Structure 1
Amino acid sequence: PIEGTEEVIKADLVLLAMGFTGAETSLFEQFGVQSVYDDYSTNNNQVFVAGDARRGPSLVIWGIREGRKTAEKIDQELRVMVAQ
């Protein structure tokens, strides 16, 4: 920061692009996730992973797509559970 250069700008919305340093491995460890598969599932059948947590830093459009694909996978799994 350079003293005297501060400025206040009115805004309705501010998006912070902070970068991505990787998925929170502590969360994976808490749920026993050791493997993430191409179909968004993991070795823990109750945990699904999408977006940056699965593929690493990428474009937001990939995160949106993967979120949708993950929702489809979860829906499939729940339908199997209900049918049993």
Structure 2
Amino acid sequence: MLFALSLDLIALGIILGIMISMGMALTMSIVVLIAISGKLASFNIAQKNKTAILVEHSIETFAGAALATIGLLLLFANI
């Protein structure tokens, strides 16, 4: 986007900025929809089976640890 602006291609730079924003919004919306549907599916399974509750908590713990690990890796990559 900044490259297009540096070449005095204002319209192209604005279009690129809008497209990048739309792509990020679409990606985040899809991730949220997948997370919500997975949560609903795990709740439906947990009501039928008590060991599913343990599995659900394990998945949540693993997901949190994975997210923290990725964040730390990205942080240390920039240091």
Please tell me the TM-score bracket, short chain as reference.
Answer: 0.3 to 0.5
Structure with more contact order per residue of length (Cα contacts < 8 Å, sep ≥ 6) = 1
TM-score by length of 1: 0.36
Larger radius of gyration: 2
TM-score by length of 2: 0.38
